Amino acid sequence: MIQKIAMFGLAAAATSVFAAGSLWSISEGKNYSYQVQTPEVLACTGGAPSKMADYGAACFQSTGGWWFAYDATKDLAGTTASITPADKNADGTWKLITTSEEDGSILPGGNLDASKGLWATMKTTGVSGEVPGVVGIGFNWTKAETAISITSNGGYCVAYSWDSADELQMELGWDSKTNGDDTWFFVLPSGSKTLDITWAQFGQENWDTNHSTTVSTATDGAVSLKFRVKNGTTSEMGGTFALSELGKPGECGAAPSAISDVKAVSAKVMLNGRTLSVAGLTASATVEVVNLRGQVVASQMMSGSAAMNLSSLDAGMYMVRVQGKSVNYTQKVILK
């Protein structure tokens, strides 16, 4: 199983709450920027209307995308790969450096950067076309690596940069035990780009004669999306990749607000029992409480010493979003 990293999942309904880059956007602040928004694959429901359900372990594992780094060369003699910056799990598999497990804040010197996006330098060498070096970063649509259908998306939009002339592939992940390893991919051009890519633009290498598949196989049973370098030569290939937005066609391209701007705000969300307040507001701001399904379950205009009563909400984890003229801040809270 691929080792993944992130701490807190944020599941979203099929209609996302985000205006741009609805599947992922660095502009959303520290507690959103490493998430991938997915339709729920379990009916995580219960409780009164507008209240959060009792999200158990099974629901948590089956909602909310999960970023990871991977090296597909580790079992192939003569191949090498590296990912920088990155760390490794105890079993030697790669993991991204993104957020603190204590509070969800972005870790300095890691793979999330306000000026770059989600980024990594990836390099690999192979032996031949039959024994290539493969290295990359990507996400599983669910933490449990459950397949879901993304056919209705129509494709992807991406805002990214790639500083190398070497080929970077955007690969659609699927159940390789059933469908083989010859999956569908799109070659991303070098430079800083914002692209809309339809499913029809993805191609296949057609080397796996034991499996006959179409691109709809990859979208009907999607497991992951990967940004990878695949090198069938003994010369090193690679470069630095950074992703700032990912969404459905037509959603990318809005100017992102930098994470550094968000972190610089002095406002702080405070919770005293079931009473929520925001310290440090210098002007009125909209305060929204968002559940793990991406739904706004409470909203109020606040300023100064104003407070919000959350006694009607179920116990559990929520995201509090504070937005105003001089503030754009998101913080996780846990109601008990």
Helices (H), ranges, the chain:
57-61, 176-179, 215-220, 259-264
**pLDDT value at residue 75:** 74
Question: Which has more confidence, 156 or 295?
Answer: 156
The arithmetic mean of pLDDT across residues 265-294, rounded, is 78
**Per-residue confidence band for 19, with pLDDT thresholds at 50, 70 and 90:** very low
Instruction: Tell me the average pLDDT of the chain.
Output: 77
**Per-residue confidence band for 235, with pLDDT thresholds at 50, 70 and 90:** very high
**pLDDT value at residue 126:** 92
> Given the structure tokens 């609805």, which residue do they identify?
22
**pLDDT value at residue 30:** 42
pLDDT at 261 over 70: no
The arithmetic mean of pLDDT across residues 295-319, rounded, is 84
**pLDDT value at residue 31:** 45
Which of 60-64, 142-146, 191-195, 321-325 ranks highest by mean pLDDT?
A: 191-195
Asked whether the beta carbons of 246 and 186 are under 8 A apart, the reply is: no
List of residues 6+ apart from 103 with CB closer than 8 A: 332
- Paired tokens of 297: 């379950």
Q: Quote the CA–CA distance of 139 and 19 in Å, as a whole number.
A: 21
Q: What is the pLDDT of residues 35-56, one digit of tens each?
A: 677 766 666 654 433 344 445 5
Positive or negative CA dihedral for 201, 210, 149, 223? negative
Residue-wise DSSP of 70-98: EETTTTSTT-EEEEES-EE-TTS-EE---
**Per-residue confidence band for 309, with pLDDT thresholds at 50, 70 and 90:** very high
User: For every residue of 272-289, which 3-state class applies, written as one string?
Assistant: ECCEEEEECCCCCEEEEE
Q: What is the pLDDT of residues 238-257, one digit of tens each?
A: 999 999 889 888 888 754 33
Q: What is the pLDDT of residues 137-194, one digit of tens each?
A: 999 888 778 888 899 889 999 999 999 999 999 999 988 888 878 889 999 999 999 9
